[in-house]
Amino acid sequence: METWRDNPVWGCFTLLWAFLTVPLTVLGILVAAPFLGPRRAFFTIGPLWARQMFRVCGISLETRGWDSLPEAIRRNEQPVIFMSNHESQLDPPLLIWAIPVPAVYIAKKEVKFIPFVGWAAMCAGVIWIDRGDREHAVRSIQEAVLKIRRGRNVVIFVEGTRTKTGELLPFKKGGFQLAMDAGVPIVPLATLGGHQTLRPGALWIRPGHYLVSFGEPVDTGAFTNREQLMREVRTRIEGLIADARNGSGL
């Protein structure tokens, strides 16, 4: 660990660097979009921003298990839902860098109106959910199912919120119903390191190590019961977390 980065002065610098580079990166995506297409522009430039940002913060990345996934997933020919635990606010940008194929998040429609962040999200093809009323929410979910079936990979943090202790929280059911309705595999993820590099309530990012471990895909078609599917995915994520901690000391 680079201890010279582990202080408030460097923490303030990284915050200022983020405030400077995020708008510049989004502008770069918008400029490239007419030539590359919005999604390709985002997934070409976005991971580069994440990589440099984490390196400035002194955070290294290790991935495991990607090469063991089916070729159709690795070649982005089979849409999947990546389901991950959630330790930190750093997890979303980290997974943009760590997952080798384009994968988007599901977000509230209000996010699209946030300057820069919303613009980048629209380029990425984020799936918007309208929670204004039940009818709109149901329609949003139906649209999300169609987009996934047509090839959109999705990342879902199955706990629904960040853990404050580092331990796995209860899972939310919505993502599992979405996966079953879309009829696509679930790839379990263990995302570890965020709880140490950006602790709950911390004011700056600390240097450290992130590990993202990809598990064997779960065939949603083999389950008729949402609760059984949820238990299976939870068991696999727990196993990935245990293996990662035993092997790396995280």
Query: Per residue in 107-146, pLDDT tens?
Result: 888 888 899 989 999 999 998 887 776 677 778 888 889 9
Query: Who has greater pLDDT, 36 or 244?
Result: 36
**Predicted structure pTM score:** 0.93
Domain around 193: 3-248
Distance from C-alpha of 235 to C-alpha of 224, rounded to nearest angstrom = 18
What are 85-102's pLDDT values in tens digits? Answer: 999 999 999 999 999 999
Q: Are 214 and 66 in contact (CB under 8 A)?
A: yes
CA-only gyration radius of the chain, Å? 18
Number of compact structural domains in the chain: 1
| For range 184-209, the mean pLDDT | 90
CA atoms within a 13 Å half-sphere pointing along the CA-CB vector of 105:
20
| For range 33-44, the mean pLDDT | 96
Element (H, E) at 1: none
Query: Tell me, what's the pLDDT at 250?
Result: 56
3-state secondary structure of 225: coil
Q: What is the CATH number of the domain that holds 113?
A: 3.40.1130.10
Q: Is the pLDDT of residue 196 over 60?
A: yes
**Averaged confidence pLDDT in the chain:** 91
Q: Are 142 and 182 in contact (CB under 8 A)?
A: no
